[in-house]
Amino acid sequence: METIFEAGREIPVKSHWDVIVVGGGTAGSIAGIAAAREGAKTLIVEDNGFLGGSATASLVTPLMSNHVEGKPLNTGIGLEVMERLSQSGDCGAIYNNLGYFNWEMLKFTLEEMYLEANGELLYHTHFAAPIMEGKQIKGIIVENKSGRLALLGTVIIDASGDGDVAHLAGAPIEAGDEDGKNQAMSLRFSVANIDINKFADFLSTLDGYKQDIRFLHTAHVNGKRYSITPLFEKAYAEGVLKEDDGDYFQIFGVPGRPNELGFNCPRISNKTDGTNIDHLTNAQIEGRVRIKRLLNFMKKFFPGFENSYIGAVASMVGIRESRRVRGEYYLTESDYYEAKKFPDAIARNRYPIDVHSHKKGGGVKFQSHIPENEYHEIPYRALVPLEVENLLVAGRCISASFNAEASIRIQPNCHAMGQAAGVAAALAIKENTTVRKLDGVKVRETLKARGANL
């Protein structure tokens, strides 16, 4: 690759914080709230002009269920957010899962809760590089409309989703399955101006029951039989859809957005590296082409969609798996199957191993062998990267194997991991120790005192 030389330059220091959270997404927004509530001077650095990440920029609604005997395994701040959102009718529960939400109003709720805790924000700001002193991270370099700035912090939380900070700071990284291939991506969207009652009535003629339109759901996956599968087959035959448009298709209701439905598709399987800018660009372009075909298909084959139109297309590609940081503990598939428990547990999980194949027509590996009403735990040590001091990771990039990550990556777990990272960062500062030396059992006990189900 051709290169050029960039001369060194002086970079102004904006300020110093106790805790800097890189990425205000699913885990990062909760990490920021948690750290600020513990009294730490906290800054969230976010690329977008809003918080929420995969939930608000990638339109990932609803939250996947992670329950035992109808009770959520992930409580604490994440559940508090959903409870507050439900007060305005923008979040609803079905089967005891308070997880169907309006992505636009979630932006408001997260920001309000963070600012109420006296947290500080830098929107429209891109992380560029870590500031290192040996193996200790001292802050980060960012770029925005004000230029290139240095932000100094006592503890840095990498909630980028892709392990961006940990990777550039020198922590060991892995990505992909045994062949180095990542899970398929998605570019989610919504369709508005639907006669949802008409559509629900139509679905009831196919499967025999009438759904609650607030939580309407239907799906199709090539190679499996669903009530709407014959419509896809007819569309393939008529050339309205290409066959890979049906590799994964899923519809969800969206509380607070009447006559609108959210879509967990189209699935992008040909280029799936979420850390490769060419792959991300391809996902946006190819995704919009497929979305247009899907809309035409639905307007022709789905009663109630006759006057519908695209309501929103995700501004951020939905990434299921990319870099994973190697940490003090490496969570494995065996830990999942054995329902392993840990003294320094910071979250509980029983969501199935859910792998979206990168292969065309590869389908979804969706399996769970945890006994009924059992769960495994995620230890604090999995949030502490090897070889870098005063850095924590939170979210889907924690220290876990490919299959273990495919289970823990759901948003309720990311909320819990974010809260753990925020609490741990504040505790380490209060105790004048490093996050590596911090007693994980104390982190767990503090989380329990803050409402976590541990």
* Segment holding 143, helix H or strand E: strand 136-144
Residue-level pLDDT at 56? 98
Contact indicator for 103, 133 with CB cutoff of 8 Å? no
Domains by residue range for the chain, with CATH: 14-179+321-449 (3.50.50.60), 185-313 (no CATH)
**Separation between Cα atoms, residue 337 and residue 36, nearest integer Å:** 36
**64 Rama class: left (phi>0) / alpha (psi -120 to 50) / beta:** beta
- Sorted by sequence, the CB contacts under 8 Å of residue 41 that are 6+ apart come out as 17, 18, 19, 120
CA 374, 380, 383, 384 torsion: positive or negative?
A: negative
pLDDT tens digits for the chain (454 residues)? 899 988 888 999 999 999 999 999 999 999 999 999 999 999 999 999 999 999 999 999 999 999 999 999 999 999 999 999 999 999 999 999 999 999 999 999 999 999 999 999 999 999 999 999 999 999 999 999 999 999 999 999 999 999 999 999 999 999 999 999 999 999 999 999 999 999 999 999 999 888 998 999 999 999 999 999 999 999 999 999 999 999 999 999 999 999 999 999 999 998 999 999 999 999 999 999 999 999 999 999 999 999 999 999 999 999 999 999 999 999 999 999 999 999 999 999 999 999 987 776 666 666 777 888 999 999 999 999 999 999 999 999 999 999 999 999 999 999 999 999 999 999 999 999 999 999 999 999 999 999 999 9
Count CB-CB contacts under 10 A for residue 115: 13
Q: Concatenate the DSSP letters of all residues of 284-346 into one string.
A: HHHHHHHHHHHHHHHHHHSTT-TT-EEEEE-SS-B-S--EEE-BSS-B-HHHHHTT---TTEE
Residue 85 CA: distances (Å) to CA of 89, 106, 120:
7, 7, 22
Count CB-CB contacts under 10 A for residue 431: 12
**Separation between Cα atoms, residue 297 and residue 236, nearest integer Å:** 10
pTM score: 0.97
Residue-level pLDDT at 364? 67
Q: Tokens for 448?
A: 């329990």
List strand residue ranges (DSSP E) for 145-295, in order: 147-158, 173-175, 185-186, 189-192, 217-220, 249-253, 261-263, 267-268
Count of residues for the chain?
Answer: 454
